[in-house]
Copies of this chain bind each other. A is one copy, B any other.
């Protein structure tokens, strides 16, 4: 039997990234937690891991800009994308009843997404911690008798926590989109993609963005997202990230990208990938 794929992700075991990892690499995977996104990209570029699972945007919070910046810095192709519904649950150590809870630990973004719960339970103090699943691990290791954590149900199962309340998030339409990245040497054997992400910098001409967007519109290529980021060292100029439906191997997308090369000063294909539902 071959060795399992080493699949890196950011945070502690039991985080939402791990649910995405299960969808993106369904078999023969060994999960490798890494302390932050920078370490994750570095581990993949030096082949300490075979794949990286990276959160790229959330439907409530928006884009995870750090990862857009890292996609550009490292040349690690996107192989797949998937979406995971973020279900926040209140998790306590076994035998700690809800009425004893005074503090709830979680990552600050997760706490911010459960404000209705805190408004209803004024005696409970939201307490920022570095990671959702890490909060569950901590309250169980320290055997806290007045604390709970907000994290995924998977984190409760993994660390032996008890779910006091399920799905306490303010908004049910809370999804995170994840990319599966691989090393360039492995990308060639992947299945044909249906969606493409590019990064570009327009030339400093009038109507520059209009020209870039036209390239796709004139060929009936659907854009699914556009995002701008500041260009370091060039104040008030921007780099754009664009997603569209199509594969650079098809004639219309190939023509569109050739057209983009003419009217941009920088253009890179970040990946053409398949969608895992």
Contacts and interface: CB of A to CB of B under 8 A. Distances in A.
Interface of A: 57-62, 65, 83, 171, 173, 175, 177, 206-207, 209-210, 213-214, 216-217, 220, 222-230, 232-236, 238
Contact of A57 (B62, B83, B227, B230): B230
Contact of A62 (B171, B223, B230): B230
Given A209-B213, A213-B210, A214-B210, A62 B229 contact: yes
A206 B232 contact: no
Given A206-B220, A226-B226, 8 more contacts: A59-B236, A83-B235, A173-B234, A207-B217, A209-B223, A210-B216, A225-B228, A227-B228
A61 B230 contact: yes
Contacts of A234: 173
Question: How often does this chain occur in the complex, in copies?
Answer: 2
Given A62-B65, A175-B235, A210-B216, A226 B223 contact: no
Given A61-B230, A230-B58, A236 B224 contact: yes
28 contacts: A59-B230, A59-B232, A59-B235, A59-B236, A60-B232, A62-B229, A62-B230, A171-B232, A171-B233, A173-B232, A173-B235, A175-B236, A177-B236, A206-B220, A207-B217, A207-B220, A209-B213, A210-B216, A210-B217, A210-B223, A214-B214, A224-B236, A225-B228, A225-B238, A226-B226, A226-B228, A227-B228, A228-B228
